[in-house]
Structure 1
Amino acid sequence: MTPDLLLAHGYFLYEDPKELQIMKPYAPLGILYLCSHLQAKGFDVEVFDTTFSSKAALIERLQTGTPSTLGLYANLMTRSNIVELLRIAREAGWRTIVGGPEPGAYAKEYLDAGAEFVVLGEGELTLEELMTAIRSGGLDQIGKIDGLAYLENGELRQTQPRAQIKCLDDQPWPARKMVNIQKYVDTWRTHHGKGSVNFITARGCAYRCQWCSHQVYGNTHRRRDPLLVVDEVEWLLSEYQPDMVWVSDDVFTINHTWLRTYAAEMKRRGLRIPFECISRADRLNEEAMDLLAELGCFRVWIGSESGSQRILDSMQRGVKLDQVQRAVELSKTRGIESGMFLMWGYEGEELEDIEATIKHVSRTQPDIFFTTVSYPIKGTPYYKKIQDDLIQLAPWGTSSDREIKIRGRHSRRYYSFADKLLRSEVALARMREINTSDEQEIGRLAEEVRNARTGLIDAAAEVEA
């Protein structure tokens, strides 16, 4: 039987060399929420989970199955796959819809690439109305559906913005039975010794960091009832028996009253599961950290981004360096690992800002830290600020925003030296903190620091474009 809608995404784990090294996949909750919503409204929806499949298998499904409507979730990392799938689907006679965090910023490009409709923002209600119109043949009234983009005589048309769902508790849980969740758990367990599942307690982030995309949920934050979240957690633990969970919220600890109620209900039901989450330093005080520890949090990710207060202020991060340092200290005293995200190359960054970041991380000593070179995502204030200096070397459909070059910015080699300097300085500070007597290792790290700093200075005149 041909479904009303086939939902898929463009993430193919086994075809991504980097992801094969990481092997930490999670179920695509976005399309599973869409699926459960539409099924509750009477639509026949099928999910093709590409994570453990192949592009060839999905293409075969599109080319040999009876054409219906295809809905694809796209983000900046899956753009090229989605563009290819849209073309193939249209050639095979499918109606095509695309949504997710990237298409809203590139509606015309996705429509030109083969999408018939682009869902803008939160998808459930828009997709419900669109599927109703498709099923009834009422596409002549398409302009009355909020949250939609389409082409009319080759020109882009965008309808009124879609109002967001007021009460998330009215939405059904993600349709996890439509995919093989156990395979996600087993993949984690095979490669990391612990099986994991994911869930959300909220949608959106109300903060206004200049580089962060808010295409789907805008600058809003809506929370689910904590008792109903515990219902879902209890079911997940019973159904899949994971060893840990990932709370997929943008900022888990925004509302301390909510967190307090959630922790109390988990305790009342005798539920405790190791988990990791993302937060902000300004939303991590002693009480919040105590609650995280009580709940079983083993790692909290803190978006430090930079060790330069000047750069943080330019990002409109809304966080002070001493708050980040305090948050890491609080996590250590409670046995919770701290993870830190850092960003090189933000607009206006100078050598002194890089040195400040190195000093900040060396002093703070998070358990884990990751770095990236900043990239402008279309639709963000950061993108708009520097768009006149952006250079796209590869065709849009085969590249991503991460590959855009910024005229006049330091070269990637420069930032590779910044990375080496950071890691060597942090390791050296850690050695000295534990008062080690391994003078040979200290000497080796000191030499790495000197070489990295020399390389950084020597590469300062190099630009990426």
Structure 2
Amino acid sequence: MPRILVGSVYFLRLDPARWAEHQPFPPLGTLYAAGTLQAAGHEVHFFDAMIAQAVTEWSARVAEVRPEVAVLYDDNFNYLSKMCLSAMRLAALEMIAAATAVGAKVAICSADAADHPDLYLDAGAGAVIVGEGELTLAELTAAWRDGADDLSAVKGLAWRKGAETVRNPKREVLRDLDALPPPAWELVDMDAYRQVWRRHHGFFALNLVTSRGCPYSCNWCAKPIWGQGYAVRGARAVAEELARLVCLAAPDYIWFMDDIMGLKPRWWGEFAAAIDDLGVKVPFKCLSRADLVLREGAVDDLKRAGCDIVWLGAESGSQKILDAMDKDLSTGEIAEATAKLKAAGIRVGHFLQFGYPGEGMAEIGQTLAMLRATRPDEMGISVSYPLPGTVFYERVQSQLRDKRHWDVSSDMAMLYRGPYTTAFYRHLHTYVHRDFRVRRAVAQLREAVRGRAEGGDHLRALAFVAYCGVAIPLSWARLQLLRLMPHPAAPRVMTAGRAAP
């Protein structure tokens, strides 16, 4: 059996805003790949980019292991992996060079590699895995073990036959997720993760998944790995994996990384029952949809299972924009789900997206009004990001600028000619966060006055509210000026030796 080095390709330290949050999670998708190779009998070694200091550590690991096969496998459960962050792309290309330098065959599985296979094949990769990767990886490594040069029998690959890039037929999406070998958790340096979490947050969090994919059709959402399909694990199997993880690492908190959790009717109830039966209730956060939360009994089941916070893809407070996104959701459902969760003692997070075509100041105002009315506990903001393969990307492709992807996840650059400029949206990000925080501080002060607040630095909150009383009006005035700024002139196209008008 070949000696295989499996490495993740998202370096947290290369994404400053995310590193500053000090919330690293093991690369779960990579661990599934490693587990699959272990089950096939391979000698598997692991490199964890999430906690690595620098890309050079990969080179050192390659020199130590001297692998015959190197597998660069992105954590496809990490939503940041859908975006091509230039820092991560450059790191992946450097990793390929280091592996090929010692004679290793290289396979890579990532959203960016699936979108741009020639870029990675030109860099020296022997194969790009397109789509769900475990079974493809098992067949590919078996073919390389047997000395095969022709990879045409392996579904889900892009590879080179001479100078030609060959794209094999797609592989069918897995339906029985419980048949997969478990993630190779024993390869993870749990102490390294535990130290970061405990030092900065006072608790230790780990991650699990209950499903793969999403069947909804939001037209800005890319699905490079699982497509439009959706498969879910058995609730009892997830609870048993949680029990094993508790025995292995004793996490205080769990993040369920699913694109959408709880789609299958009664799944949350079955999970809560299994958790009770096994006695392994651990507080958790998850991502879901407002309409799923509103199903009968869903909130009670979430509460019983130990849910701490549900993040909802609210996106916008404007029904016009939600409809344009093909969100198949109403602002009323978002408000009702938020209220119902909060009434049950479950916190709520809202993901928001600004800059979608058709959004003007009126629609931005509706989103602000929704935030002020629903008062979620947490909030995340982005601008519309054209991801290859989406309807949204096709709609704005003619407006794309020279810069086609963000450098880091906090870039907030408008990659197409949106309603307003990048400067506007970057300042809008600041304004909305400031407005959100001051309203939360005011609510905390009111609770303190009523004698219901538990602890907290109320003097600091009062000082922040006073500061924002001046800063927020000034910030709003700046937004009004920024919205009047023209977009940068489109690049002039050269034709017949002259610049076209």
Per the alignment, residue 69 of structure 1 pairs with 69
Per the alignment, residue 168 of structure 1 pairs with 177
- Change in CA separation of 1:194 and 1:440 when aligned onto 2, cut-off 3 Å: closer
1:139 Cα offset (Å): 2.2
Structure-to-structure mapping, 1:75-154, within 5 angstroms: 75=81, 76-77=84-85, 78-140=88-150, 142-154=151-163
- Change in CA separation of 1:128 and 1:428 when aligned onto 2, cut-off 3 Å: closer
For 2:256, which of 233, 247, 253 is the aligned residue?
Answer: 247
Would the aligned equivalents of 2:383 and 2:414 in 1 still touch at CA under 8 Å?
Answer: no
- TM, length-normalised to structure 2: 0.85
Would the aligned equivalents of 2:25 and 2:193 in 1 still touch at CA under 8 Å?
Answer: yes
Hey, what's the Cα distance between the residues in 2 that align with 1:152 and 1:398?
Answer: 33
- Change in CA separation of 1:130 and 1:326 when aligned onto 2, cut-off 3 Å: same
- Change in CA separation of 1:56 and 1:148 when aligned onto 2, cut-off 3 Å: same
Hey, what's the Cα distance between the residues in 2 that align with 1:429 and 1:224?
Answer: 40
Would the aligned equivalents of 2:317 and 2:369 in 1 still touch at CA under 8 Å?
Answer: yes
Would the aligned equivalents of 1:373 and 1:415 in 2 still touch at CA under 8 Å?
Answer: yes
1:425 Cα offset (Å): 4.4
Q: Secondary structure at the match of 2:51?
A: coil
Query: CA-to-partner distance for each residue in 1:339-364, whole Å, 9 max, x for gaps?
Result: 11111111222111111111111111
- Change in CA separation of 1:447 and 1:238 when aligned onto 2, cut-off 3 Å: same
Per the alignment, residue 48 of structure 1 pairs with 47
Hey, what's the Cα distance between the residues in 2 that align with 1:132 and 1:44?
Answer: 13
Would the aligned equivalents of 1:9 and 1:82 in 2 still touch at CA under 8 Å?
Answer: no
Query: CA-to-partner distance for each residue in 1:366-422, whole Å, 9 max, x for gaps?
Result: 01112112211112222121111111348x898899767313552222113323443
Q: Secondary structure at the match of 1:300?
A: strand
- Change in CA separation of 1:382 and 1:397 when aligned onto 2, cut-off 3 Å: closer
Per the alignment, residue 342 of structure 1 pairs with 352
Would the aligned equivalents of 2:5 and 2:65 in 1 still touch at CA under 8 Å?
Answer: no
- Change in CA separation of 1:202 and 1:442 when aligned onto 2, cut-off 3 Å: closer
Structure-to-structure mapping, 1:64-463, within 5 angstroms: 65-74=65-74, 75=81, 76-77=84-85, 78-140=88-150, 142-285=151-294, 287-393=297-403, 405-407=415-417, 409-426=419-436, 445-463=468-486
Would the aligned equivalents of 2:109 and 2:130 in 1 still touch at CA under 8 Å?
Answer: yes
Hey, what's the Cα distance between the residues in 2 that align with 1:399 and 1:184?
Answer: 22
Per the alignment, residue 452 of structure 2 pairs with none
- Change in CA separation of 1:322 and 1:9 when aligned onto 2, cut-off 3 Å: same
Hey, what's the Cα distance between the residues in 2 that align with 1:415 and 1:320?
Answer: 24
* Bigger mean CA offset, 448-457 vs 338-347: 448-457
Would the aligned equivalents of 1:392 and 1:404 in 2 still touch at CA under 8 Å?
Answer: no
Hey, what's the Cα distance between the residues in 2 that align with 1:262 and 1:87?
Answer: 45
Would the aligned equivalents of 1:71 and 1:96 in 2 still touch at CA under 8 Å?
Answer: yes
1:218 Cα offset (Å): 0.9
Would the aligned equivalents of 1:189 and 1:196 in 2 still touch at CA under 8 Å?
Answer: no
State percent identity of aligned pairs: 31
- Change in CA separation of 1:464 and 1:155 when aligned onto 2, cut-off 3 Å: farther
- Change in CA separation of 1:48 and 1:360 when aligned onto 2, cut-off 3 Å: same
Would the aligned equivalents of 2:299 and 2:344 in 1 still touch at CA under 8 Å?
Answer: yes
- Change in CA separation of 1:386 and 1:295 when aligned onto 2, cut-off 3 Å: same
Per the alignment, residue 32 of structure 1 pairs with 31
Hey, what's the Cα distance between the residues in 2 that align with 1:169 and 1:361?
Answer: 39
Query: CA-to-partner distance for each residue in 1:195-254, whole Å, 9 max, x for gaps?
Result: 111111111111111121211111111111111111111111122111111111111121
Would the aligned equivalents of 1:188 and 1:194 in 2 still touch at CA under 8 Å?
Answer: yes
Would the aligned equivalents of 1:279 and 1:303 in 2 still touch at CA under 8 Å?
Answer: yes
1:25 Cα offset (Å): 0.7
Contiguous gaps of at least 5 residues in structure 1: none
Instruction: Specify the code of the residue in structure 1 equivalent to 2:92.
Output: I
Hey, what's the Cα distance between the residues in 1 that align with 2:127 and 2:417?
Answer: 34
Hey, what's the Cα distance between the residues in 1 that align with 2:66 and 2:482?
Answer: 57
- Change in CA separation of 1:34 and 1:454 when aligned onto 2, cut-off 3 Å: same
- TM, length-normalised to structure 1: 0.91
Hey, what's the Cα distance between the residues in 2 that align with 1:343 and 1:104?
Answer: 25
Hey, what's the Cα distance between the residues in 2 that align with 1:208 and 1:144?
Answer: 32
1:101 Cα offset (Å): 2.5
Q: Secondary structure at the match of 2:386?
A: coil
Q: Secondary structure at the match of 2:215?
A: coil
Query: CA-to-partner distance for each residue in 1:24-79, whole Å, 9 max, x for gaps?
Result: 11111111111111221222222111222231121123356535111112432322
Hey, what's the Cα distance between the residues in 1 that align with 2:38 and 2:129?
Answer: 18
Instruction: Specify the code of the residue in structure 1 equivalent to 2:369.
Output: K
* Bigger mean CA offset, 114-123 vs 15-24: 15-24
- What is the count of residue pairs matched by the alignment? 462
Hey, what's the Cα distance between the residues in 1 that align with 2:20 and 2:353?
Answer: 22
Hey, what's the Cα distance between the residues in 1 that align with 2:93 and 2:487?
Answer: 27
Hey, what's the Cα distance between the residues in 1 that align with 2:106 and 2:188?
Answer: 21
Instruction: Specify the code of the residue in structure 1 equivalent to 2:6.
Output: L
Per the alignment, residue 19 of structure 2 pairs with 20
Q: CA RMSD in A?
A: 2.7
Query: CA-to-partner distance for each residue in 1:103-162, whole Å, 9 max, x for gaps?
Result: 21112222223322100111111111111110101222x112110001233332211010
- Change in CA separation of 1:366 and 1:115 when aligned onto 2, cut-off 3 Å: same
Would the aligned equivalents of 1:101 and 1:213 in 2 still touch at CA under 8 Å?
Answer: no
- Change in CA separation of 1:417 and 1:39 when aligned onto 2, cut-off 3 Å: closer
* Bigger mean CA offset, 2-11 vs 275-284: 2-11
Would the aligned equivalents of 2:4 and 2:69 in 1 still touch at CA under 8 Å?
Answer: yes
Would the aligned equivalents of 2:157 and 2:167 in 1 still touch at CA under 8 Å?
Answer: yes
